[in-house]
Structure 1
Amino acid sequence: MKSISHIALGAALVFGLGAVAPVALQPAAAQEAEQAYELDLSRDGRRALGEVNELYNAGDFPGALARIREFEASTDAPDEVYVANQLKLNAAIQTENDALVDEALIGMLDSGSPALTAEQEAQFLNRLGGQAINNDDTAAALGYFQRLIEAQPNNATAQYNVGVLNSRLENHREAYDAYSRAIELAEADGSTAEEGWYRNRFNKAVVEGYDLVKPGTAYLQAYPSGETWRHVLLAFRDATDTRSDDQNLDVFRLLDDVDALSEEGDFYEYADTAQRRFYFVEAENALNEGIEAGALDTSRPYVSELKTLIESKIGDERSEIDSLAADAESAADGVDAASTATAYLGAGNNEEAVRLYRLALDKGGVDVKDTNLRLGIALTRMGDYAAAREAFNAADGTDATTLADFWLAYVDSLDG
């Protein structure tokens, strides 16, 4: 279950509020000298509240509460309601009565008295929201935190909490928007929001089928660990049912470059997909990485069978690749050049891959978006980040553009 961020719960917060600490009513002159706001109390109000105070000081909290309720029934004056509930809060704290604490805070919040400060309002709403969460009253908690946002529009933590609560109530778009607003506020002064904020927003986008590029790249830029890259890219890959083997390889290439391949399935699928597309050098590299990492065990039949298959084919690719490149030079279109370029890319010959990708684009007959994407990969691996950005920006459609955005985020991390 997602957690609420930075909420102080229970009476501990209330004890810490100087504004609502136990109050002894003073003569009007002394009270007025200490208060920035002069309470507007009637003569009857002062007398009644004085009686409450006497009962309170005598330790008769039930008697004090009874007198407060009697007085509340006789007045609707904002300042009198505010002070009555302040005294009620004192009794609630002394008797450790959480329900009475909530009643008193609500009474002060709803009193309409100018004596209620902005700081008090925020603290009271925060405490009420936290207590509502303790009571499993998510709807009430959401209401309090929404009021807190109205009082403090730039409160990033309150915005995040509204996101969590909306998510629990299955208000998915409202949750996503609240997470986004919280992150924007946290980043407004150049800071970075907590990792969970980015993760929750991204996961919400995944579950609801929203666009993954903005929340995914923001998460990666803020917390660029291998684990984060793997989580984001595999979620992105799995969200696209129409992705071809070639496009799937582009995802694995990025996972490999950011050191995010970690599990058996990562390495095995990468190697198997590469060999199905006849890129046997790349397949062997992926397989060997998995073996060296301890993720792939050659004693397993399916791993040893894949290893044997690759080894039986890799010699042909190595011996034929240069002649294929020569043939691509005289071909009528760029299809052979693009395919051979990808073989060079998988073999680590990025310079030749760049040359052939550019030849393929010049000749035409190829998918411009995917070819530019792979051209960008080769340029990134060469360290030519300016040209790589240009190539990724040219991959401007559907699957290619979204993956290109993730490659651009990687380039930014290398060339920040």
Structure 2
Amino acid sequence: MGMPFIPNTEQQQQEILQTLGLKSFDDLITEVPESIRFKGEFSLPDPLSELEAFRLLKSMAKANKNIDDYACFLGGGAYDHYAPAAIDHIISRPEFYTAYTPYQPEVSQGTLQAAFEYQTMICELTGMDVTNASLYDGGTALAEAALLAHRNSRNCDHLLISKGINPNYHRIIETYCRGQGIELKEIPLTTGLITDVEKLKSLISQSTCGVIVQHPNYFGNLEEVFETDKIIHSTNALYIVSVDPISLGILVPPGNYNADIVTGEGQVLGNSLSFGGPYLGLFSVKKELIRRMPGRVIGETVDSEGRRGFVMTLQTREQHIRREKATSNICTNQALNTLVATIYLSLLGKRGIREVAEQSLQRSHYLADQIANLPNFSLLNSGHFFKEFVVSCPVPAREVIGKLKKQNVFAGIDLGKTDKTRENQLLVAVTEKRTKEEMDRYVAG
């Protein structure tokens, strides 16, 4: 019963057993079958010095295939954009790096102001009224938007969701809605891989809570967002849009086509790929929805001496006050990731974001044109696309991926993994980091 990391004396052990009405430690574990109890010692290697441990871990890490050694054309929600070196330098400051929820504003002004600036810039980017201080990632942000739409509607019982949504996001939304008893109805796509607005017209009704679309969608295509707005707002439903923040450098912001809730994945704003996380969920709304919005909100105020200051505001929505009646069970934001996004947006500015978006657009279209000229390969994107496109291959996509991997190229995502009818389809993403040499090597491979 003695533990090397939680020491207790013989007297303390006896007091514990006496309190439990037991005589020995064996009595405490009597429910554990004898056959599965651990006997003897763990088969562990001898201890290592720090240098030896570092060498061992480094050799193990070599088993990973990373974007430093491969040309990365993977996308599907996480993208290989360039992050300025200054970001790591700034976030490594201990007052940022170790900060927790700033319940005491008098000692947290730096953290609070950084979050406030983040909210301001995301509002400018999306054209929305209010932004929270972040959620976990793009998927959970979109799922929280679905719940908000349901909370906002007294007599509505279902949500419409485009089949052009990221399938991983779709599964998260299904999980959230199943627990709340919310019905999901899927809007099919056209042959050109965009949401079928005619089907939307036939599916939507006054009992629809909200309609969820992604723009650009999972296949990279631009949706008919203005036409979608007219259809949705002919009812009481909320217009929910998931966006790629980088695309807003050149695309019309969601506020301009009357979106009610805007979410997105903030990984592209200077955050590393990091094996899938931690990431950053963007969440913006119209001002009339602010009290139903999940997540922290940082506000600007003045102190007793008239000095500008920042505080967490509208806290009565949150879990540390409302408990089970809170607007969300997500009770901590991604503060360090939002700081990264804030620095990224500050360093690049409006012109920089536009340039990243334009280069991603131009390079993706260059590669798409080259692939389309290959025998037996074709593009399935019939309209405008941003940064990402779908290739129809003469063989299963996994074979193309395997062949190019041998040439140090991550070719893209096998769409057959989430839809068996698409096993010959490859989702390819191109960011500003990809060079002409890498793209030509991709085509030649």
Same fold (TM over 0.5): no
Query: Under a length normalisation based on structure 1, what TM-score does the superposition of the two structures give?
Result: 0.24
Higher relative CO (Cα under 8 Å, sequence separation at least 6) belongs to 2
Query: Under a length normalisation based on structure 2, what TM-score does the superposition of the two structures give?
Result: 0.23
**Greater helix proportion:** 1
